[in-house]
């Protein structure tokens, strides 16, 4: 076996992936692209180092510079989210959720949560982190017309179950959660309120979505690589410090040694830069994301798509969800990919199997990052119509998608704007 050949094969597949996304319309709602400064952090020497513990209290030597980086990341996160507590160590949003479960629950504790078919993330489900912790799940009723939690029904559920944790936040997240009323009910029965902001973290930071920590959430978890366009990773935020609450100390221990050892130091460095960039550009970026999502949803609806939330303005986030026919989501997603549009099949209310869903979920955060605005959303809606309604050959549509995308490869809303997002080596050398 020629091992060099095997290694070069992997490299070539990575380059092919870059070329594919460079020519495509990336619309997966959980993805984004990195700024030049964030990319640079991922190839620094931090990538191979360990830093178990907290700044100044390490189990290893050699952390004096990383201590400064992590401290700066924590400081910037607190400013960005107007929070007293920030933990930047979780390596993903799911790991952040696992840390909360580790800190604040025991196996068999009761929690209340949305069903995954109604939009909850898998980490809150029986097959994910909640199930791994052995939690007893009780689901909120859902209003499929409004695409949101049924407030009265959820309050009744919380009062009946008296959960240890009341979990909120979604993977399909079109509209803000009616958090204030639900948090009040949860606190009445002694439950802590956990808000998973993974998808909407950048919109929250940009001041264009609800503010969970002001509306009753005891803790907010999130991913740093969706609408907040940083490296893949997680964060935990709260409005109480470790000194103010023993619960926050438990949360600290839930992260380490609970669910992390070392924690991808190069990603922490990139998180710090992403927080700084979002402080500089996040308001404008979040505002344009929502404008684009609303416009695209409206255009799809006008072209004949069954867009959910139509009676409520379609969306208040980066996401759009539409039905394509009973259990036809996978087929539709495949046709779109063949046409150069990268989206994902997704369950809609009433679906029973995640691999046989009836919907397509879209996100516009990456297209927005590439400089697209409302006018471009009109053109993109036409591509969807050609593939999924008109039945045009995907390969023919792809030629037009590739030509359209040529003008949108530069990164916006960051320092050193204008770098090509898809060049496989692009370092900032200043």
| Residue 181: closest CA among 148, 206, 209 | 148
pLDDT tens, position by position, 290-299: 999 999 999 9
pLDDT at 132: 87
Tell me if 344 sits within 8 A of 370, measured CB to CB. Answer: no
pTM for this model (two decimals): 0.95
Give the single-character DSSP code of 189. T
pLDDT tens profile 142-158: 999 999 999 999 999 99
| Whether the Cβ atoms of residue 323 and residue 350 lie closer than 8 Å to each other | no
Q: How many CB atoms lie within 10 A of CB 166?
A: 29
Set out the domains of the chain in order of their start, with CATH numbers.
Answer: 39-275 (3.40.640.10)
pLDDT value at position 209? Answer: 98
| Burial of 259 from C-beta contacts in 10 A (0-12 / 13-18 / 19+) | buried
C-alpha to C-alpha distance for 279 and 239, rounded to whole angstroms: 19
| Token output for 261 | 């050892």
Contact status, residue 87 vs residue 251, Cβ threshold 8 Å: yes
Q: What are the φ and ψ backbone dihedral angles of 320, each rounded to 5 degrees?
A: -135, 140
What average pLDDT does this structure show over 274-285?
Answer: 98
Number of H helices, E strands in the chain: 14, 17
> How does DSSP classify residue 254?
I
What is the SS3 assignment for 25?
strand
User: pLDDT per residue over 366-423, tens digit each?
Assistant: 999 999 999 999 999 999 999 999 999 999 999 999 999 999 999 999 998 888 887 7
Q: How far is CA 90 from the centre of its chain?
A: 14
Which structure tokens are listed for 128? 């994910």
- Position 425 scores a pLDDT of 46
Please tell me the distance from the alpha carbon of residue 376 to that of residue 368, in angstroms, as a whole number.
Answer: 10
Q: Specify whether the CB–CB gap between 170 and 197 falls below 8 A.
A: no
């Amino acid at each position: 076996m020629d091992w060099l050949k095997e290694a070069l094969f992997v490299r070539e597949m990575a380059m092919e992936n870059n070329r594919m996304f460079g020519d495509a319309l990336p619309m997966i709602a959980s993805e984004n692209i990195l700024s030049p400064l964030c990319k640079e952090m991922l190839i620094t020497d931090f990538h191979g180092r360990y830093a178990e513990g907290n700044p100044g209290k390490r189990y290893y030597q050699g952390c004096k510079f990383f201590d400064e980086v992590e401290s700066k990341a924590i400081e910037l996160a607190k400013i960005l989210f107007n929070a007293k507590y920030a933990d930047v160590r979780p390596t993903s949003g799911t790991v952040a959720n696992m840390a909360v479960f580790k800190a604040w629950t025991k196996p068999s504790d009761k929690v209340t949560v949305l069903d995954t078919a109604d939009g909850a993330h898998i980490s809150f489900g029986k097959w994910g982190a909640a199930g791994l912790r052995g939690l007893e799940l009780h689901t909120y009723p859902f209003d499929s017309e409004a695409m949101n939690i049924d407030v009265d029904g959820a309050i009744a559920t919380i009062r009946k179950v008296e959960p240890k944790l009341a979990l909120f936040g979604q993977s399909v997240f079109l509209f803000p959660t009616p958090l204030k009323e639900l948090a009040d009910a949860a606190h009445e029965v002694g439950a802590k309120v956990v808000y998973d902001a993974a998808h909407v973290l950048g919109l929250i930071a940009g001041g264009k979505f609800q503010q969970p920590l002001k509306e009753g959430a005891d803790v907010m978890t999130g991913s740093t690589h969706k609408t907040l366009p940083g490296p893949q990773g997680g964060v935990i935020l709260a409005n109480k410090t470790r000194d103010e609450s023993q619960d926050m100390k438990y949360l600290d221990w839930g992260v380490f040694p609970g669910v992390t050892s070392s924690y991808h130091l190069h990603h922490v460095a990139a998180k710090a830069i992403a927080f700084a960039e979002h402080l500089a550009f996040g308001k404008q970026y979040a505002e344009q994301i929502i404008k684009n999502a609303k416009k695209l949803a409206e255009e799809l609806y006008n072209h004949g798509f069954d867009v959910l939330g139509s009676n409520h303005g379609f969306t208040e986030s980066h996401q759009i969800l539409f039905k394509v026919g009973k259990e036809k989501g996978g087929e539709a997603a495949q046709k779109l990919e063949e046409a150069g549009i990268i989206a994902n099949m997704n369950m809609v209310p009433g679906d029973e199997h995640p691999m046989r869903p009836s919907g397509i979920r879209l996100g516009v955060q990456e297209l927005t990052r590439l400089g697209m605005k409302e006018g471009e959303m009109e053109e993109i809606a036409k591509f969807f119509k050609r593939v999924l309604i008109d039945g045009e050959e995907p390969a023919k549509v792809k030629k037009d998608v590739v030509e359209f995308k040529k003008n949108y490869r530069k990164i916006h809303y960051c320092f050193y704007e204008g770098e090509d997002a898809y060049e496989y080596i692009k370092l900032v050398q200043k």
